[in-house]
Structure 1
Amino acid sequence: MHIDLVDRDRYASSGPPHDQLTWLRANSPVHWHQGEPSFWAVTRYEDVVHVSRHSDLFSSARKLALFDDAGEEQVAMQRLMMLNQDPPEHTRRRSLVNRGFTPRTIGALEQHIRDICDDLLDKCTGEIDFVTEVAAPLPLYVICELLGAPVADRDKLFTWSNRMIGTQDPDYASSPQQGSTAAMEVYAYANQLAAQRRANPRDDIVTRLIQPDENGETLDENEFDLFVLLLVVAGNETTRNAASGGMLALFDHPDQWDRLVADPTLARTAADEIVRWVSPVNLFRRTSTTSQVLGGQPIKENDKVVVFYASANRDTAVFPNAEVFDISRDPNPHIGFGGGGAHFCLGNHLAKLELRVLFEQLARRRPRLHQSGPARRLRSNFINGIKELPVTVG
């Protein structure tokens, strides 16, 4: 079988190459993937979890966590972001940021999220684009709430996020330079927010993060700017694409939509199954820190190692009937939020809360919702994204 797991045109036309991933799990689970550059493709659940939980063996900092290689200047700058750090630096940063994501903080958002969903659904009539009218605004409203930013700023956040993750998509950005410009605009926006909170502290995540913790530790200016950048992208793109991909999965499996409409409380397990099925983040890159063996293959120091969550989440060794979309699947040990370890998604509880409330309200309030045109996918091998999903609100 011809193997090309990073062809962006394939992702744009039909999503992750599950036929190739299935073959690799069975025949070559740690596979030397030819290309420019070549890399080790890790496709089996057990191996993806092993890589994720051993930052000492598979580094996020040496060559960053994103697939594309970067120049030394960019690497040095991006290492200030948690995504591209290893312990102990990552541990320090995460402990500071955790102050904004306590169970109390997230739990207190449920009614607010339900109100946002109801407001969005109130405005949905006739034929609409589910992505821009429902899936995208929800996490952006929540991010504005977390940051204490005006709701009117959500359009700016939406545009910046699209430009940063869509540098290879003609609809969003025509060059990596536009993505870099968007990042600089987010930095400036973060600086403005921090200055406002220093002058007028409020009960929000920005105020908590710019104040010293019990040990006197705080985020410096660059660290705070990069946290806001990560929140704008990670807190937006994952939930947005899980929501739109989940809606498409329910259209593709109308029996599951009928089950959800009949029993909206299934939204609790449906949220996890949607994340498993969609795997909004397709891959991350690590760099081997030593000569070692993974899945029977000899890995050399500094080899590029890429883990594929979309593959691991359909591993039949872990998920019975893995190719079946089942909104009542339980247990569901998916790794759509990462395979554990240092980089397990900080906002996973918030994302699941948003998805649960959204699909519960959709089932209750828009039971006759149906697809009215083809979905258009993002041209990206990183984010399993949907740019457009026409629906008719019955």
Structure 2
Amino acid sequence: MTAQPDSLDLPVGFDPTEPDVNLAAIPHEELGVLRRAAPVHWVEQTAEASAGFVAEGAKGYWAITRHADIAAISKDSKHFSTSVNGAIIRFAPDMTRDQVEMQSVMMINQDDPGHGNLRRIISRGFTPRAIGGLRDALAAAAVRIAEDAREKGTGCFVEDVASELPLQAIADLLGVPQEDRRKLFHWSNQMLSYDDPEIEGDPEAASVEILNYFMPIAEERKANPQDDIVSKLVTVGEDGEGLTSDEFGFFVILLTVAGNETSRNSITHGMKAFFDHPDQWELYKKERPATAVDEIIRWATPVSVFQRTALADVMVGDVEVKKDQRVGIFYASGNFDDEVFEDPFTFDIMRDPNPHLAFGGHGAHYCIGANLARLTVGLMFEAIADTIPDISLVEDPRRLRHSWINGIKEMQVKYA
């Protein structure tokens, strides 16, 4: 094993998945120490912190902090699994092993062949043509969102602006009436509520609500197919496959969190970055560079870490990871690796190239909705720059207390 916390310039017992650590901020200083001195570093955990994952006496995981190692593990499905323990590195303390294994119905927690089969079906809804078909409606929606905010004068940017376009994109994608889109917002918040005592909700109950809402939609589309994405997903295609109603329901659970939370937080963190770097906001308003969206997403890195489990003894860097051990692949560290990014802590909307890992690297689990996320983030900032260009921060943001989501739950602003 590599050096332990008492021989590094780190707090004793430092664990970058601790919710209280991330409530303050992503621990970039500590992650930088690990990148330089111990890029594959064993983090010992309590039984509570690793609930549901591994046998008693084997608590902990390897923290992987270098860009190169994170990218390599993301592409290595031969040696690393998502299905053994899932992709989520830390659940609620009372999560049981049975509950962890129930998560395997979602694509993010599957290995091939099941993962590949589901991905092929779901990709029907995320073709360039399908995403391009949403552009005009989403562009108009982004302008309406910004205009409504301007009329309001002041408010919470997260609820008024950042969450709205991702919700409308998901609603359009799934044929959800726009008046129901706020249900998605509340369900998404509740599913991630287990680390933050200020957010009321039951993650399991929220998941059931989503299944109860969407499984009947799947059944109806099977019986009466339409020219929409839901029908393409749940009816048998040329490959002879389609999503079952429960597979569709669990896909929506994933989309509600992955699509809403990640885009919402990218937009919020991006706006905060522009507040902190007014020269970049002036540059954006003037130039609208195509490179801006990926820099916003890199800077935000809304999912700070996922995990894999070793299927065999395997070398990562100069450390041997043993079979059945977990590894935490810290995108929030890799995206600020100065071996890859020049001046990584400089917010630079002209940054090019920008090989960030915010969409999960480029392996089998690369985010299937990456193009929709880029479109949503880009259109929202276009509308903000055109409609509320003098937006300003009123109060410091309030962060989400969470182990793997880099979230902001409240940011009070003045729109005009």
Q: Choose 346-355 or 202-211, whichever is displaced more.
A: 202-211
1:317 deviation in Å? 0.9
The answer on whether the counterparts of 1:283 and 1:308 sit within 8 Å (CA) in structure 2 is: yes
Equivalence for 1:246: 270
Q: Choose 356-365 or 178-187, whichever is displaced more.
A: 356-365
Question: Which secondary structure does the structure 1 equivalent of 2:251 belong to?
Answer: helix
Equivalence for 1:141: 168
Q: Does 1:257 align with 2:281?
A: yes
- Identify the match of residue 108 of structure 1 among 123, 133, 136: 133
For 2:304 and 2:115, how far apart are their aligned partners in 1? 22
Q: Choose 144-153 or 361-370, whichever is displaced more.
A: 361-370
For 2:336 and 2:254, how far apart are their aligned partners in 1? 27
Q: Choose 191-200 or 279-288, whichever is displaced more.
A: 191-200
The answer on whether the counterparts of 2:360 and 2:366 sit within 8 Å (CA) in structure 1 is: yes
1:71 deviation in Å? 3.0
- Identify the match of residue 42 of structure 2 among 25, 32, 37: 32
Equivalence for 1:131: 158
For 1:319 and 1:81, how far apart are their aligned partners in 2? 33
| Residue correspondence of structure 1 range 276-295 to structure 2 within 5 A | 276-295=298-317
| Residue correspondence of structure 1 range 79-90 to structure 2 within 5 A | 79-90=104-115
TM-score for both structures, normalised by structure 2: 0.91
1:139 deviation in Å? 0.5
Equivalence for 1:50: 72
Equivalence for 1:160: 187
Residue identity matched to 1:226: F
Give the paired residue count. Answer: 388
Identity fraction in percent: 43
For 1:187 and 1:332, how far apart are their aligned partners in 2? 37
- Identify the match of residue 21 of structure 1 among 28, 31, 40: 31
Q: CA RMSD in A?
A: 1.3
Structure 2 unaligned blocks of 5 or more:
1-9, 47-58
Equivalence for 1:5: 16
Deviations 1:326-374 (A, max 9, x none): 0111111111101111100000001001111111221122111110111
- Identify the match of residue 219 of structure 1 among 239, 243, 256: 243
TM-score for both structures, normalised by structure 1: 0.96
1:108 deviation in Å? 1.4
The answer on whether the counterparts of 1:242 and 1:274 sit within 8 Å (CA) in structure 2 is: yes
Q: Does 1:65 align with 2:87?
A: yes
1:195 deviation in Å? 2.6
1:253 deviation in Å? 1.0
For 2:215 and 2:382, how far apart are their aligned partners in 1? 37
Q: Choose 66-75 or 129-138, whichever is displaced more.
A: 66-75
Deviations 1:109-132 (A, max 9, x none): 111111111110111131111100
- Identify the match of residue 210 of structure 1 among 226, 234, 257: 234
For 1:68 and 1:261, how far apart are their aligned partners in 2? 39
Deviations 1:167-203 (A, max 9, x none): 11122236xxx10010011111111211332344222
Equivalence for 1:180: 204
Residue identity matched to 1:40: W
Q: Which runs of structure 1 show a deviation greater than 6 angstroms over 4 or more consecutive aligned residues?
A: none
Equivalence for 1:354: 376
1:270 deviation in Å? 1.1
For 2:279 and 2:99, how far apart are their aligned partners in 1? 48
Equivalence for 2:356: 334
Equivalence for 2:120: 95
1:61 deviation in Å? 0.3
Residue identity matched to 1:24: L
| Residue correspondence of structure 1 range 296-335 to structure 2 within 5 A | 296-335=318-357
- Identify the match of residue 378 of structure 1 among 395, 400, 404: 400
Residue identity matched to 2:193: G
The answer on whether the counterparts of 1:173 and 1:179 sit within 8 Å (CA) in structure 2 is: no
